[in-house]
A = this chain, B = another copy of it.
Amino acid sequence: MASPASTQTCGSANPESPAPPDASKLKITHSKTPKPLQPVETLRFGQTFSDHMIVANYDPETGWSAPEIKPHGPITLDPSCSCFQYGGNVFEGMKAYLGPDGKARLFRPDLNMRRLERSCARLALPPIDGDAVLELIQRLVDLERRWIPKESGYSLYLRPTVIATKPGLGVMASDHAMLYILAMPTGPFYRVLKPVALFAVSENVRAWPGGTGGHKIAGNYSPGFLPQQTAAEKGYDHILWLFGDDRRITEAGAMNFFVVVKRDDGDGEFQFDMFDMYHLLSVEGLDLITAPLDGTILPGVTRASCLALAGDPEFQKESSLRLHPQEMVYTMSDLEKWSSEGKFLEALALGTSVIIIPCNKIGYEGKDIVLPGAGLGPVGTALRKKILDIQEGRTEWKGWGVVCP
């Protein structure tokens, strides 16, 4: 397959004229059959949708159409469209939380919107203005306010998606696109915060320098399904993706991955009681390590927030943790060494849907590295609490919680 040279520049993103989907032109068609709310304890991630969605279409002649809020329902496309044939789809995951002040808040949505812009540009989709998308998201949150559960840990999950809608075959950029934003009430991803087990994989590789692993692109996800099934058959919950001959640690499933390691300067101390639970004696001088953004790692919002908190003197003081955030290359050999030396204290998987969850086991080549503790350790607990406090509006922190007007 090839694309004729004469049409190769078709669909080129033009950053000079971003032509945003214009929220001031928003049309609203209310659902005539609003659904009853579901008891929060029956919510499963991504299975219950709110009454409405936002849709806008991009045409190369006319730019973005006036966006429309309309009842959540199916979309209709020609089967030759680029979204089916060549995988030119990107998305974001965000949550709106209801605060004790009754206001709905998004968490650092600017980071999601900049990433959405970069994802679209990477796949040569039509240009999109993240600020305009954010305004639409806020309008949807406002309209769907009744769908935001009031319970702590619950939120309205938002899924802005851009798909390539150019009809007709030919391997070339799509100069047509559809933006849609879905909303769904959701609870804690895991009802009980029990640790997950990871299965380290090097035969399958999630991302590569020069690939798309640093962008939130649909095609990054489906290649992980088969290794994930293999891991599940072996009794593990998620893949720990390795990279390279030196078996670098990259991501866990579709989440970023952090480890907490006692520093050689020696002042970090944990102690365990008879129930194998953490007791904090004097936790200082701990490295909070994650892989650097070299193009193979998704620049996660929770990832960036944990790194920023870990290095912040105010957070360190209030949490009694002296953390050293480290974006660095580290390998399975490092994990094995730290584990054998008793320095490997916590393993954490991070993402918008899970926030922070603990990992207690990493299987690789027939052996398991077993982590101490039966839940989140002190670092994971402090970071998770702080982030939830900000997300749910109990704490103001550097403008991270953004109120929906």
Contact = CB atoms under 8 A, between A and B. Distances in A.
B124 A8 contact: no
A203 B210 contact: yes
Contacts of A89: 84-85, 87, 222
Contact of A78 (B9, B74, B91): B74
Contacts of A189: 2, 4
B122 A226 contact: yes
Given A4-B189, A205-B208, A351-B2, A229 B173 contact: yes
Q: So how many copies of this chain end up in the complex? A: 2
A124 B8 CA distance: 32
Interface string A30-72: 0000000000000001110100010000000000000000001
A222 B164 contact: yes
A170 B46 contact: yes
Given A77-B74, A85-B89, A9 B171 contact: no
B87 A123 contact: no
B169 A46 contact: yes
A114 B225 CA distance: 20
A93 B221 CA distance: 24
10 contacts: A1-B93, A1-B351, A1-B353, A2-B255, A45-B170, A47-B168, A47-B170, A73-B78, A85-B89, A123-B223
Given A5-B238, A12-B229, 5 more contacts: A9-B233, A47-B168, A47-B169, A53-B79, A83-B83
